[in-house]
């Protein structure tokens, strides 16, 4: 549940409000006060969606304790709301109105007031109201504050005009950023931090009459009106009232073209006049002002014509609308010129301030209505996980991003923004999008063609919402499953990761970037450079993380072979951007010790850009430079000089840009370095076609979540299923069987899709559109009975299917030791035990990493690693019921115990529960003939090695693997597991004869 006052900052709140004495005289025509809360027991203490007052806080100790207390001095009635608090992070309480009832209309009133029992502690208390949206937890937040510097009861009156829109935290995004007052969902109080105290409050009510200047407003259709030179711009002004009532007094708007960079009489014909909206004018009525521009023969940058407005009788627009005469005639605008010439021309014209802006990326939630885009020449925006428009629809995404792109048209060279999102397994921030299996599942498919198709579906859905840039794929090589990002990796073997990098072509298209301008392709990002999957357990210094963002200790040979190898492949495939890792790299023997990757010029400038020849741009991770040593100026110059071209500084974009300019002026960051960074960024913007088509092409929006796209996700889900054990052929199921289904993850779409789904951390439940595994089994025609906790009677069934595993998490929040482990929950263990004791059973583990199941393995007939299959549970049902064969193979080693970790293919000591590459098959004939067949396959593989016949070599190894695996299925030992795992690595690296030799070694050791 979203807590309203998360990240509240006293510095962002306005100052002391006037405190009205008791008995304030109301105007004669004021309406009677309207009670909101009397605190006599009429409103319960309850969480949404019920009507009620509830508490929240940053940790378990922060929520205040509330009570309805009888007091003889209560300002109204006999009881007051009272509470105690001792808050270290943030905490307070909220009254949300009922979700299933209409929102409240407060527009007839002047403001809100309540009684507060002052403690005279000189602390500010934040007061928020909730406007618009679907409900109280999906609404805009408007805030103000008062100071508790008095003793005893005071009535605090807050006019609605005193509330300001919260720009620091709007988890549902902007709705319209207008305090309409007609759809109010409640209020919230944030209590002081760092002081142990108590409070009492009474009689919250609406008071006074809302005058027209509050209820009526004049707005422009846009803050920016681009027009080609010689054309006429039309600015539409509208008058509107809260509640949509006609205005009851005249509203006048005097207008005049004044200021700006365009020259009156030379670049445009000046305008001046007045518009009147008479009393009785309907809300929404518009009038237009036309501004004619003049044509000359010179090439020019864009020029601005502000339209100064003076409004009487209503609120004026928050911003002065401006007409922008488009840049024209300059070489960088010519699409016929080579990109490098366009870039060179544009860079030569830009000021240091404009260049610094291009190197700056802000979070959309930080920029409010977007005026800072032009004010700070911002080059990029992003949506962090869960940072979405309201409503969260394709149309709303496109409209939002187009609005930001329009703002960029008010800059001198009209350089378009590049907007980025973490679409790491489909367009996962968008409700209703096609959600693929996470990378760990894609790695299990061993199907490069399918990885490319999954990337293509993701790119098409992302670009159709106006987004040209994806912070994916993650090329981490996961070496320790205690890492909370394990599922973002294709696997533990760099050869497997490299084989799955076909996803880059799915996202970007052709290696030379010629497809990037297409409406179904996006710029991809290889992350996190380099070594993020190799961090040592216990080395993290980030909060309570144990391994994420820690230290990777490797020899230079290990670094090259394991962690760097996938990046050379990405560069060869034309990757457009690279993101460094939060983690530190400690190359043993180089004398540097651990150094944060954002500071490693030797790796970014030296290896990535130098030796590998990467010609795209480097984007930092979220606020990653803040983890560097030294002061902020040091953070900026160190990271930029190390080779980071664009800085993801979500809420500190102003500070970064200003500091970068200062560092450049002081000579600590060279002009050459800045020009290189800006050139790299602009090159990708030109390749993406953003200068010609900055706005969303939504022609592909109808395919978002379409049957064709979901068919790819269904195929991926099916191929990702790894059959670890299958005694007596329990799987595939037959439709004639009566099946008992249990477990926490059988019917939970949120658990099935994992982290990075709709929100950063993901969540359980029906969070988007899709099919659960249980739904898929029913749709497959199975005779299915479901009991989540296995409490229903278990007699009379042919087979049980227990679907267990993890709940969602992302990044270091999911680290083992940070409130997580690799064990099944007690409820899941109980369900497995009960069902498997009563009947033949198959256990499916829905998780981002292996779970420790060894102590129950003997009681389980069939075991499946389902990973995080995405929205298409039908794909899982397809293999359960034999519509498709099980073909998945382990992308990581499955350990027997946590004490074995880290354990990986190639280790000298190797005794896992199941080895890397393991995966039984169904519906596939296993070759017969034992050793003789293996000898024959060895000859075929050797011939394939000599002739470069990869398809023949892969087929020979695959047949040998099936033969050997059938024999090993009940006799896995270190002597059999190690060569078996090594064989899969050799297969991926094209050493077919050696792979068959290793499989033969495993066969003989069984």
Q: Which residues are catalytic?
A: 621, 811
Q: How many helices (H) and strands (E) does the chain have?
A: 24, 38
Strand residue runs (E) in 258-398: 272-277, 286-292, 303-312, 322-325, 360-363, 380-383
Give the 3-state secondary structure percentages of the chain, helix then strand then coil, rounded to 5.
30, 25, 45
What does the radius of gyration of the chain's CA atoms come to, in whole angstroms? 31
Beta strands at 91-96 and 184-190: parallel, antiparallel or unpaired: antiparallel
The CA distance from 499 to 985, in Å, is 11
* Residue 92 token pair: 């307070």
DSSP-derived secondary structure letter, 963: H
Residue-level length of the chain: 1006
Helix (H) or strand (E) holding 360: strand 360-363
Give the strands of the sheet with 216-220, arranged side by side: 216-220, 232-241, 286-292
- The number of C-alpha atoms within 13 Å of 119 and in the hemisphere containing its C-beta is 18
Residue 84: which residues within 8 A CB-CB, separation 6 or more? 64, 65, 197, 198
**Contact between residue 121 and residue 167 where contact means Cβ atoms under 8 Å apart:** no
The CA distance from 577 to 682, in Å, is 12
**DSSP result, 629-689:** SS-HHHHHHHHHHHT--BEE-SS-HHHHHHHHHHHHHTTSS-HHHHHHHHHHHHHHHHHTT
**Contact between residue 893 and residue 492 where contact means Cβ atoms under 8 Å apart:** yes
**Three-state SS annotation for 873-887:** HHHHHHHHCCCCCCC
Provide the 3-class DSSP secondary structure of residue 782.
coil
* Residue 263 token pair: 């020259």
Residue 592: which residues within 8 A CB-CB, separation 6 or more? 586
**Contact between residue 196 and residue 62 where contact means Cβ atoms under 8 Å apart:** no
The CA distance from 877 to 866, in Å, is 11
The CA distance from 314 to 299, in Å, is 41
| Residue 476 CA to its chain's centroid (Å) | 18
* Residue 256 token pair: 């005049």
Provide the 3-class DSSP secondary structure of residue 201.
strand
**Contact between residue 293 and residue 261 where contact means Cβ atoms under 8 Å apart:** no
* Residue 712 token pair: 């790819």
The angle subtended at Cα 523 by Cα 386 and Cα 531, nearest 5°, is: 75
Buried b (16+ CB within 10 A) or exposed e, 894-926: bbbeeebbbbbbeeeebbbbbbbbbbbbbeeee
The angle subtended at Cα 699 by Cα 693 and Cα 703, nearest 5°, is: 135
| Residue 983 CA to its chain's centroid (Å) | 37
501 CB neighbour count, 10 Å cutoff = 25
Helical ranges in 464-499 per DSSP H: 494-499
The CA distance from 96 to 133, in Å, is 13
The CA distance from 506 to 325, in Å, is 38
Using CB atoms within 10 Å of the CB of residue 522, give its burial: 0 to 12 exposed, 13 to 18 middle, 19+ buried. buried
* Residue 567 token pair: 């990046």
**Contact between residue 969 and residue 915 where contact means Cβ atoms under 8 Å apart:** no
């Amino acid at each position: 549940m979203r807590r309203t006052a998360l990240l509240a900052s006293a510095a962002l709140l306005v100052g002391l409000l006037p405190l009205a004495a008791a008995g304030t005289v109301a105007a004669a025509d004021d309406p009677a006060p309207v009670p909101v809360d009397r605190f006599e027991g009429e409103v319960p203490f309850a969480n949404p969606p019920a009507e009620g007052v509830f508490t929240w806080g940053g940790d378990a100790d922060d929520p205040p304790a509330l009570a309805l207390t009888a007091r003889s001095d209560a300002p109204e009635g006999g009881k007051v709301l009272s509470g105690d608090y001792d808050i270290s992070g943030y905490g307070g309480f909220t009254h949300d109105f009922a979700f299933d009832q209409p929102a409240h209309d407060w527009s007839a009133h002047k403001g809100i007031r309540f009684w507060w029992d002052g403690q005279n502690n000189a602390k500010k208390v934040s007061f928020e109201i909730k406007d618009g949206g679907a409900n109280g937890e999906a609404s805009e937040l408007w805030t103000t504050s008062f100071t508790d510097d008095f003793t005893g009861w005071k009535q605090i009156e807050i006019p609605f005009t005193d509330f300001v829109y919260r720009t620091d935290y709007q988890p549902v995004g902007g709705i319209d950023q207008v305090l309409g007052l007609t759809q109010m969902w409640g209020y919230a109080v944030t209590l002081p931090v760092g002081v142990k105290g108590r409070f009492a409050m009474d009689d919250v009510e609406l008071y006074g009459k809302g005058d027209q200047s509050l209820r009526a407003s004049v707005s422009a259709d846009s803050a920016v009106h681009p027009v080609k030179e010689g054309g006429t711009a039309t600015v539409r002004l509208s008058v509107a009232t809260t509640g949509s009532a006609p205005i009851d007094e005249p509203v006048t708007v005097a207008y005049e073209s004044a200021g700006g960079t365009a020259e009156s009489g030379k670049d445009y014909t000046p305008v001046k006049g007045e518009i009147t909206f008479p009393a009785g004018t309907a809300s929404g009525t518009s009038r237009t002002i036309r501004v004619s521009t003049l044509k000359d023969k010179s090439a020019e940058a864009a020029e601005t014509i502000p339209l100064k407005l003076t409004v009487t009788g209503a609120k004026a627009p928050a911003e002065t609308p401006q007409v922008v005469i488009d840049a024209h005639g300059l070489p960088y605008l010519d699409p016929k010129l080579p990109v490098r010439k366009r870039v060179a021309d544009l860079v030569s014209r830009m000021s240091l301030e404009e260049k610094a802006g291009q190197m700056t990326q802000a979070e959309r939630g930080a920029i409010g209505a977007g005026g800072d885009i032009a004010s700070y020449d911002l080059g990029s925006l992003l949506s962090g996980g869960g940072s979405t428009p309201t409503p969260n629809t394709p149309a709303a995404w496109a409209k939002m991003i187009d609005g930001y792109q329009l703002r960029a048209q008010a800059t001198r060279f009209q350089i378009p923004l590049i907007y980025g999102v973490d679409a790491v397994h489909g367009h996962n921030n968008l409700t209703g999008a096609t959600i693929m299996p996470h990378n760990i599942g894609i790695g299990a498919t061993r199907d490069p063609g399918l990885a490319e198709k999954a990337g293509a579906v993701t790119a098409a859905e992302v670009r159709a919402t106006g987004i040209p840039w994806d912070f994916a794929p993650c090329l981490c090589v996961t070496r320790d499953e205690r890492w909370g990002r394990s599922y973002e990796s294709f696997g533990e073997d760099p050869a497997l990761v490299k084989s799955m990098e076909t996803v880059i072509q799915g996202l970007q298209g052709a290696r030379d970037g010629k497809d990037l301008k297409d409406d179904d392709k996006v710029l991809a990002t290889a992350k996190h450079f380099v070594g993020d999957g190799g961090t040592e357990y216990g080395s993290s210094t980030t909060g309570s993380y144990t391994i994420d963002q820690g230290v990777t200790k490797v020899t230079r040979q290990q670094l090259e072979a394991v962690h760097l190898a996938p990046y050379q492949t990405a560069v060869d495939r034309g990757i457009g951007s690279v993101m460094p890792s939060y983690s530190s790299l400690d190359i043993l023997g180089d004398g540097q010790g651990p150094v944060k990757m954002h500071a490693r010029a030797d790796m970014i400038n030296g290896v990535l850009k130098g030796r590998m020849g990467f010609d795209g741009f480097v984007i930092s991770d979220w606020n990653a430079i803040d983890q560097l040593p030294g002061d902020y100026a040091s953070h900026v110059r160190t990271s930029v000089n190390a080779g980071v071209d664009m800085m993801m500084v979500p809420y500190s974009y102003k500070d970064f840009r200003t500091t970068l300019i200062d560092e450049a002026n002081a000579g600590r960051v060279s002009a050459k370095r800045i020009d290189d960074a800006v050139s790299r960024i602009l090159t990708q913007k030109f390749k993406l076609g953003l200068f010609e088509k900055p706005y969303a092409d939504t022609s592909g929006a109808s395919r978002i979540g379409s049957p064709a796209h979901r068919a790819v996700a269904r195929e991926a889900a099916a191929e990702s299923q790894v059959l670890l054990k299958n005694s007596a052929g329990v799987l595939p199921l037959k439709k004639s069987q009566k099946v008992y289904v249990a477990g926490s993850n059988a019917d939970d779409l949120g658990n099935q899709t994992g982290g990075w789904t709709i929100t950063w951390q993901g969540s359980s439940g029906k969070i988007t559109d899709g099919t659960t595994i249980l739904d898929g089994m029913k749709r497959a025609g199975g005779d299915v009975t479901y009991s989540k906790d296995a409490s229903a009677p278990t007699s009379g069934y042919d087979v049980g299917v227990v679907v267990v595993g993890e709940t969602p998490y992302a990044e270091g929040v999911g680290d083992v030791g940070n409130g997580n482990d690799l064990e099944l929950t007690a409820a899941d263990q109980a369900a497995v035990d009960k069902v498997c004791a009563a009947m033949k059973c198959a256990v499916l583990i829905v998780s981002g990493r292996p779970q420790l199941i060894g102590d129950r393995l003997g009681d389980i007939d069939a075991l499946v690693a389902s990973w995080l299959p995405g929205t298409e549970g039908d794909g899982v049902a397809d293999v359960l019921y034999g519509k498709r064969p099980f073909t998945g193979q382990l992308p990581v080693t499955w350990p027997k115990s946590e004490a074995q970790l880290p354990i990986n293919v190639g280790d000298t000591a190797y005794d896992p529960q199941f080895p890397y590459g393991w995966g039984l098959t169904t519906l596939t004939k296993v070759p017969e003939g034992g050793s003789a067949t293996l000898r024959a396959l060895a000859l075929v593989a050797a011939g394939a090695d000599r002739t470069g016949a990869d398809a023949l070599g892969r087929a020979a190894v695959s047949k040998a693997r099936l033969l050997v695996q059938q024999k090993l299925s009940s006799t896995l030992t270190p002597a059999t597991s190690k060569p078996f795992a090594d064989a899969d690595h050799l297969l991926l690296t094209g050493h077919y004869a050696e792979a068959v030799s290793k499989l033969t070694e495993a066969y003989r050791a069984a």
